[in-house]
Structure 1
Amino acid sequence: MTAPERLSGWTRLTTGTADVDIIGRRRTWYIGFAVLIVICLLSLVFRGFNLGIDFTGGSQIQLPANGAAGVISTQQVEQVYQGVIGTPPEVTQAVGSGEAASIVLQSEPLTAEQLIPLRDALFTQLQPLGPDGAPSAASISDSQVSGTWGGEVTTQALIALAVFIVLVTIFLAVYFERAMAAAALVALVNDIVVTAGVYSIIGLEVTPATVIGLLTILGFSLYDTVVVFDKVRENARGLLKLTRRSYPEAANLALNQTLMRSLNTSLIAILPVLGLLVIGVGLLGVGTLADLALVQLVGMITGVISSLLLATPLLVDIKLRDVRFRDQARRVAARRARATPDGDAPAPDTLATVSSSPPTSSASRPTGKTGRSRR
């Protein structure tokens, strides 16, 4: 391909005049999403989540990462803990950087008889520095977390999710139609399952910040879907009375018209999240910012992909279950066949998209020669 041709193709993409066949390849997208969903569900069932201390309950100990003898490592803290308690801690991680760096240790609930000698051993062997730069036992803090609180957070999150889905369903059904509402909800459920599955597969710790981040991506996921559906509705207005294009072609045109907008909007939304992730992990260590940013990053990427490759193709298949749209597509194909001289190149995938819809009786199938030409 020459440089002018590449430039022409890019110009068509940015101006919404591209001709990317997304709807015609919808079976490929379905297979890809189905495989991904199955993998995520298997991981959720057999592997589950790596729940944080806020959900399981336990003890948390935090001490400065700077000691009298130099920087204190997580391995040193684990050795001291295992020497006193007899078992290794569940989680040991470094948080922050520079003078504000600290080490957080999480374990099963510890009694006062266990915490007192553990604090003494950490101070005696590691000599963590206090705010004044001198070794201080007061710089070692501990807290007990009840699993009941995490259960309450989970319950409230599920209630919020249910209310959100109900309200969104009502809005989509009123603003658009039931077919669009159904396709958008399927894409939304896909985003939730895939995001949760990624956390399960990788084994990332689930914290309250993760739950909050999961709830925040739902609106973004639907935003892109609504933009595309609004364009589909505009292109399909009065379609049943016309023979210019079929519903699959109208939907594919809408996807091409909004493709760059979807990608640009997603990129602009993802960049700040990447910034949060870099700050959360690179500067502050694994913590609330990192948990919140990571779940949003995964959800946003999943959301934009599902709005383009899942929601709209599903809408097309739902609409093609209506005999009126199948008949209209056949009228489009018949008109093109009459206007196509023998030997011309095939037309767009009007016949192909109709053939992928639910089968009809032989009496309703068009007869005669059906050549296709590109207009």
Structure 2
Amino acid sequence: MARGGFAQWGNDLYTGRRSYPIIQKRRVWFSIVGLFSVASILVLVFQGLNLGIDFRGGSEFTVSGTSNTDQDIAIDTVAEVVPGHEPHVTQVGGDGVRVQVSQLDNDQTTALQNALGEAYGVETSEVTANFIGPTWGQSVSMRALWGTVAFVLAAAVFMAIYFRAWRMSVAAIVAMLLDVLVSAGVYAVIGWEVTPSTIIGFLTILGFSLYDKMVVFDKVRENSVALTEQTRSTYAERANLAVNQTLVRSINTSVVALLPVAGILFVGGFLLGAGTLKDISLSLFVGIAVGATSSIFLATPLDVALREGEPKIAAHTKKVMDLRAGLVAEGADESMLAAAASGSAQLVPGHHQGHTAQPKRRR
């Protein structure tokens, strides 16, 4: 799409001249989200996450100052010296190799240390051996868990106060947690090791996801000012307008965030083989993509589903639909009915609606 065409498309979405029935098809999105959620749970239960050495414990060897960083050398050496121990090998910088295996005894550690030095053509003193216990990883996991719980509770309270609607808060929190669930499921399918960097990436996902949903919900709140004082559109229709109005912003923000993360993932994960870059960039890439999608297709539709259960909103929706049915019976112009159904009838094109600008009817 040309630059001018994209700008015009975004302007049409904002003014309501063009509208996609996202809220109206919420049952479809709920079904898709449910499918992905169940699939993620099944993958996590039956396949599980590939926990790194920081969580399961083991022995770690670092070869420094080598001119050859071929990872196959380490894999073959481990298979020859300590068969049965599947290694995890990563490149460290430009002249180092890190080898992680399950826990070895003292004799096995010495033998593998000497063999790695010989295989990579360096002195044995250039090969360091360390034992890493699982306690540190478990401590990080527990702190991350408690930090997540505190973050979710604080976010829920803040949104409930800010939007003066606990249903918006519930919708955002549910969508945000499902973002992490689906991201973890994707991570389990790919099979990359879960490291502390991965946990940091998952926690970062929560912040991005919450920010994106706050922007959409703020527009929903603006569009629903004095909702029950008019009879041209329902809450669902005004929420649908808000989603369409923020669609371009969501796309632009996500693309801008994904491009550098994709670069880090490609360079760090596939060219350099840098474990830390690979671990955090994959979790960020998947989480940002899922979070942006859920803001459009899950959070706001879920908010509408919850709000339509309120007696006041339900009564207003029924009133609008009854009046619209009466207009159909009287043979009203189809374009006017379509405009009302899209949620655009309450705005004059180009007119900004907010707390200080009440919705205006067309003359």
| Length-normalised TM-score, structure 2 | 0.85
Shift of 1:219: 1.1
Task: Specify the SS of the correspondent of 1:61.
Answer: strand
| Per-residue CA distance 1:113-136 (angstroms, 9 max, x = gap) | 212222222333x242xxxxxx43
User: Deviations 1:229-264 (Å, cap 9, x if unpaired)?
Assistant: 111111111111210210110100111111111111
- Match of 2:25, SS state, is helix
Give the 3-state SS of the residue equivalent to 1:24 in structure 2: coil
Ranges in structure 1 where 5+ consecutive residues have no aligned partner:
129-134, 354-374
Q: Which amino acid aligns with 2:179?
A: D
Alignment root-mean-square deviation, CA = 2.7
- Residue 77 of structure 1 corresponds to 74
Deviation at 1:333, TM superposition (A): 2.2
Counterpart of 1:262 in 2: which secondary structure? helix
Question: What one-letter code is carried by the residue in structure 2 that aligns with 1:168?
Answer: A
Q: Hey, what's the Cα distance between the residues in 2 that align with 1:51 and 1:231?
A: 41
Following TM superposition, by how much is the alpha carbon of 1:345 offset from its aligned partner in structure 2, in angstroms?
Answer: 3.8
Structure 2 residue runs without a partner (length 5+)? 344-362
Matched, 1:92 2:89: yes
Amino acid at match of 1:184: A
Contact in 2 for aligned 1:333/1:350 (Cα 8 Å): no
| Residue identity in the other structure for 1:151 | Q
In the other structure, the counterpart of 1:23 is 23
Rounded to whole Å, the distance in 1 between the matches of 2:200 and 2:115 is 37
Structure 1 residues 272 and 127, CA, compared in 2 at 3 Å: closer, same or farther? closer
Tell me if structure 1 keeps the 8 A contact 2:61–2:127: yes
SS in 1 for 2:24: helix
- Are 2:85 and 2:102, in contact at CA under 8 Å, matched by a contact in 1? no
Say yes or no: does 1:149 pair with 2:136.
Answer: yes
**Equivalent residue number for residue 331 of structure 1:** 319
Aligned partner of 1:113: which letter? Answer: D
Work out which of the residue numbers 148, 153, 158 in structure 2 matches 1:171.
158
Whole-angstrom distance in 1 between the partners of 2:5 and 2:276: 47
- 1:283, 1:54 → 2: CA distance? 24
2:97 corresponds to which of 81, 95, 103: 103
AA in 1 matched with 2:107? E
Residue 15 of structure 1, CA deviation: 6.5
Greater relative CO, 1 or 2 (CA 8 Å, sep 6+)? 2
Runs of 4 or more above 6 Å deviation: 4-7, 349-353
Q: Distance in 2 between matches of 1:166 and 1:6?
A: 39
Partner of 1:361: none
CA contact (8 A) 1:63 1:102 kept: yes
Q: Distance in 2 between matches of 1:166 and 1:7?
A: 38
Please identify the structure whose Cα radius of gyration is greater: 1
Within the candidate set 172, 177, 181, 1:184 is matched to: 172
Deviations 1:131-158 (A, max 9, x none): xxxx432222222111111110111000
Say yes or no: does 1:252 pair with 2:240: yes
Provide the rounded CA distance (Å) in 2 between the counterparts of 1:195 and 1:290. Answer: 15
| Aligned equivalents of 1:56, 1:292: Cα separation in 2 | 19
Question: Percent sequence identity over matched residues?
Answer: 39
Instruction: Tell me which residue corresponds to 1:37.
Output: 37
Q: Distance in 2 between matches of 1:47 and 1:257?
A: 40
Task: After TM superposition, give the deviation of residue 6 of structure 1 in Å.
Answer: 9.0
> Which amino acid counterpart does residue 208 of structure 1 have in structure 2?
P
1:76-116 deviation line (CA, Å, top 9, x unaligned)? 322222222232433234444xxx14332211112222122
Q: C-alpha distance in 2, partners of 1:65/1:25?
A: 59
Q: 1:5-61 CA distances to partner (integer Å, 9 max, x unpaired)?
A: 999646524777531110111111001000000000011111111000000110111
Q: SS of 1:23's equivalent?
A: coil
In the TM superposition, what whole-angstrom CA distance separates every residue of 1:182-220 from its partner, at most 9, and x where no partner exists? 111110111111111111122111000000111111111
Aligned CA distance change for structure 1 residues 349 and 313 (closer, same or farther; 3 Å): farther
How many residue pairs match? The answer is 338
Query: 1:7, 1:223 → 2: CA distance?
Result: 24
For 1:339, give the aligned amino acid. L
Judging changes above 3 Å, is the alpha-carbon distance between structure 1 residues 6 and 163 closer, same or farther for their aligned structure 2 residues?
closer
- Residues 75 and 269 from structure 1, CA distance in 2 versus in 1: closer, same or farther, beyond 3 angstroms? closer
Q: Which residue of 2 aligns with 1:314?
A: 302
